[in-house]
Chain A
Amino acid sequence: MALSVRFERRATTPLGLRVIVLSLAVVLGAFAGGLLVQASGYSALTAFSAILEGSFGGTYPISQTLAAAIPLATIALGTAVAFRVQLWNIGGEGQFYMGAFGATAVELIGGPAGWPAIVLLPAMMVGGFVAGAGWALLPGWLRAWHGVNEIITTLMLNYVAVLWVNYLVYGPWKDPAGRNFPFSPRFPDSATFSRFGEGQLHVGIWVPVVAAIVLVLVLARTRWGYELRVVGENAEAARYAGINVRSTMLTAMLVSGGMAGLAGMVQVAGIIHLLNGQLSTNYGYTAIIVAWLARLHPLAVLVVSVLFGALVNGGFAVSQVGIPQALGGVLQGMILFFVLGIGDLFTRYRLRIVSLPSTVTAAAARGTST
């Protein structure tokens, strides 16, 4: 008997298995990354304990981790909606900036006019959502009606959005009292989310939580959610059923951009309290990975965002114990590689060990009669 190992596609993947495989992938990735850190002459153990300390080791690190997760989660929820209809919205970054711009525009009207927080903050949220959605409108329309590749258009518009915000804070919106630094006037208290806990954690954390719950309900229990499912899985069947594929795509794109815009609003109102040209450390791009790892499920997006928030803060912490921050990045990269690559492979395929009958004997025993 000869043994042979082969990959086999799974018909279905149970949820429990997915959780186990992904957890194992994180551990393996950390181990592989640790080897690299060790090989570079630093202590892997020190690095790990720094990451753990820096992300979950106490109320301050935890609140920083959660604060970092807020923009990731909010953008990723929108990314997931677009991805569900096979629209590859890579423009989260630009839509995030435009959302911050939209929110600031509202603040510049409502703040000086003395609107109370209860009016101003919701108005800013609307402003952020509309501006983000508006930024996704053009790529969405071009894609749905003219078949223009949305990956390219959304990506290109990212640069335009960042430059636009920079133009504003270097020019018309520059704070006259800001000693020539490129940022807008500081928001009044009525335009900011209140903080709680020890770090930067603010009440804006409820935005992604509420949005995720709403999204779960909308996806499962509305006609629009149903249409998204059908268009996403089989646009041909959607057309066959009389679903308007174009408008479904466009609305998905608008919601996706709107969520990123909302994230931009939450970031300026919750963390930065003004508008400047360095709002994001690639949140819009990281959110793509978050959405993908969460398999486009809104509640999973929340969990994965917190893990990514931890990785971001852990990276900072590594540099504070004398290990180059680049090695922190290597660790993150290895973990991601294992989770995305290997973890994904094993959730979709299974390894099977099969025995092949020894060829000669089988053939001899049966003969080759007709």
Chain B
Amino acid sequence: MAAPRPHRSEEAVALVGIAKAFPGVVANKDVDFSARWGEVHALLGENGAGKTTLMSILAGLYRPDAGQILIDGEAVTFHAPGEAIRHGVGMVYQHYRLVASQTVAENLLLGLPGVPFRLNAGRFIREARELSERYQLQIDPSRPVWQLSVGEQQRVEILKTLQRGATILILDEPTAVLTPQESEDLMRTLRQIAAEGRTVILISHKLEEVRGVADRVSVLRGGSMVSAGLPIGALSARDLARLMVGEDVPSLRQEEQVARAGGTRLLLQDVCARDTRDLPALTDVSLEIAVGEILGVAGVAGNGQRELAQVVTGLRRLTAGQISLDGRDISHASARTMVRLGVAHIPEDRLGEGLIGNLPLTDNAVLKSYDRPPLSFGPLLQVQRVVGFTRTLIERFGIRGARPDSLTRLLSGGQLQRLLLAREMALNPKVIVAVHPTRGLDVAATQQVQEWLVESAREKLASVLLISEDLDEVLQLSDRIAVLYEGRIVGCMPARGADRGQIGLMMAGAANVAAGVS
């Protein structure tokens, strides 16, 4: 690996007047941005602020509608990511692009420039090993990728980018999927990469993380740069939040969290289930949710959250254990039965599972209730009523700018989630299973969704199973908190007075024996 060549300019990257629009959305308007050699530069902004788009333009994935890219003072035009990497720009995306069935070494070789037709794999593996040691990115090159944890896969992606000679490394919300300990290790690695004279651009919306690692910060809001290249030392977390959100951060509503007088609504006893690959995903999970109670399930993604939501909504079979709703055994009820019994489900993948993007709002609004009166009689769908029902939802839940016949995929992320919630709340649910309900939403939509969930519990006495990787959200909304780690409940405690550090440790699997294990 050659040492970075001498630089012509102090600025590693300069973006000038970048604009990019997608059909129906302006992602970047007239954005100027620059980063220096040897710094960790944070790009901060809310979800949907245009951070990923801007960096994807720098990495050659998208072409800007207008504007100019300068790398080390030289104007460049990228038509493909391969051209960007030749200029030393490499990006680690949120969704890893690894071949699961191949080994780490094979993945590193894939697409590497200068690989001869006759492979000299040994040299590349040695190189990979040296790199991984130098940056403390522990990884065994001979292991197949499917065996790696998410954190390890991320290390492979970073190695891959470095091995291709990236001098400007972009990471898109790298800590979103990591445990606190893994995040810390990663931040140390990033500092080291920068200390060698390379540039690290870190896309994030986590204030503390940015303050901990970055030298300077640029903030995007609504596709525009609101402040570029401010030294981090001069800013408090509150300053950053204000820049990012554009208004004073709404103070967290302190709901009065009272013990519910009502009886048990949903009861899980020693529930076991397997995941799609037939590996154990849930082991002896026992939970209890009272009428009108919100139970938050904290945990790093991939520790059984998805499967937990699926067993409660009838989408996944139990291999052992029992689930009951108001005393009735529903362990083997179908998804449709669950809907009819009043189990609402807000899935994590809105457009992949909860909604159908290519169909109009009407078809999405009635997804859970089309099969019975008043929306259908016998085999016949009552089209007029379907439209009327959709209109009611749009008005009652304030889905602005939408009409019953609009195509659903043209809605914004917040509107999509409003539509989904509107549909589920219209079921008058007894139980609401909400998985990452505010992920990717802006502040206003997040607040709205959280309000609706709290309202359902407090006023309509629904029992809410809130599964979220956002610990703040879990702490803020829940009456009680359970921590899920490797498919087991490793702790369960009242939210009031819960110790954040303790929960963090449990999420990382470091504290199996915690106070009040259920």
Chain A interfacial positions (CB closer than 8 Å to B): 6, 8-12, 220-226, 229-230, 233-234, 236-237, 239-243, 354, 356-357, 359-360, 362-363, 366, 368-370
Q: Within the assembled complex, what's the spacing in Å between the Cα atoms of A10 and B407?
A: 13
Q: Shortest Cβ distance from B503 into chain A, in angstroms?
A: 30
Q: Within the assembled complex, what's the spacing in Å between the Cα atoms of A233 and B380?
A: 21
Chain B neighbourhood of A236, CB < 8 A: 349, 352-353
CB-defined A-B contacts under 8 Å, sample of 30: A8-B23, A9-B23, A10-B23, A12-B407, A220-B381, A222-B379, A222-B380, A223-B381, A225-B381, A226-B366, A226-B370, A229-B363, A233-B356, A234-B355, A236-B349, A237-B353, A237-B367, A239-B315, A239-B335, A241-B367, A241-B368, A359-B75, A362-B16, A363-B68, A363-B75, A366-B17, A366-B32, A368-B14, A368-B34, A369-B34
Task: Pick the contact of A221: B67, B315, B339, B383 (CB < 8 A).
Answer: B383
Q: Is the Cβ of A230 less than 8 Å from the Cβ of B23?
A: no
With A236-B352, A237-B356, A368-B14 as known contacts, state yes or no: A223 contacts B363, CB within 8 Å.
no
Q: Shortest Cβ distance from B268 into chain A, in angstroms?
A: 20
Q: Within the assembled complex, what's the spacing in Å between the Cα atoms of A221 and B354?
A: 22
Chain B neighbourhood of A359, CB < 8 A: 68, 75
Q: Shortest Cβ distance from A45 into chain B, in angstroms?
A: 43
B60 within 8 A of A: no
Q: Within the assembled complex, what's the spacing in Å between the Cα atoms of A236 and B276?
A: 14
Chain A neighbourhood of B339, CB < 8 A: 241-242
Chain B neighbourhood of A11, CB < 8 A: 23-24, 410
Chain B neighbourhood of A229, CB < 8 A: 356, 359, 363
Q: Is the Cβ of B24 less than 8 Å from the Cβ of A240?
A: no
Q: Within the assembled complex, what's the spacing in Å between the Cα atoms of A356 and B370?
A: 50
With A229-B359, A234-B356 as known contacts, state yes or no: A370 contacts B34, CB within 8 Å.
yes
With A10-B23, A223-B370, A236-B352 as known contacts, state yes or no: A230 contacts B379, CB within 8 Å.
no
With A223-B370, A223-B380, A359-B68 as known contacts, state yes or no: A240 contacts B354, CB within 8 Å.
yes
Q: Is the Cβ of B335 less than 8 Å from the Cβ of A362?
A: no
B394 within 8 A of A: no
The 7 closest A-B pairs by CB, nearest first: A242-B336, A370-B229, A11-B23, A242-B335, A368-B14, A234-B356, A241-B367
B357 within 8 A of A: yes
CB-nearest residue of chain A to B75? A359
Of A224, A359, A370, most buried by chain B (CB within 10 Å of CB) is A370
Q: Within the assembled complex, what's the spacing in Å between the Cα atoms of A220 and B66?
A: 44
Task: Pick the contact of B65: A220, A354, A360, A370 (CB < 8 A).
Answer: A354
Q: Within the assembled complex, what's the spacing in Å between the Cα atoms of A11 and B68?
A: 27
Q: Within the assembled complex, what's the spacing in Å between the Cα atoms of A236 and B354?
A: 8
User: What per-residue 1/0 map shows which CB atoms of B107-148 lie under 8 Å from chain A?
Assistant: 000000000000000000000000000000000000000000
User: What per-residue 1/0 map shows which CB atoms of B310-345 lie under 8 Å from chain A?
Assistant: 000111000000000000000000111111000001
Chain B neighbourhood of A369, CB < 8 A: 34
Q: Within the assembled complex, what's the spacing in Å between the Cα atoms of A234 and B359?
A: 10
Chain A neighbourhood of B381, CB < 8 A: 220-223, 225-226
Q: Within the assembled complex, what's the spacing in Å between the Cα atoms of A10 and B356?
A: 19
Chain A neighbourhood of B314, CB < 8 A: 242
B38 within 8 A of A: no
B371 within 8 A of A: yes
CB-nearest residue of chain B to A11? B23
Q: Shortest Cβ distance from A353 into chain B, in angstroms?
A: 12
Chain A neighbourhood of B379, CB < 8 A: 222-224
Chain B neighbourhood of A225, CB < 8 A: 381
Q: Within the assembled complex, what's the spacing in Å between the Cα atoms of A10 and B24?
A: 10
Q: Within the assembled complex, what's the spacing in Å between the Cα atoms of A154 and B354?
A: 32
Q: Is the Cβ of A362 less than 8 Å from the Cβ of B410?
A: no
Of A8, A229, A368, most buried by chain B (CB within 10 Å of CB) is A368
Q: Shortest Cβ distance from B420 into chain A, in angstroms?
A: 11
CB-nearest residue of chain B to A234? B356
Q: Is the Cβ of B376 less than 8 Å from the Cβ of A230?
A: no
Q: Within the assembled complex, what's the spacing in Å between the Cα atoms of A370 and B34?
A: 6
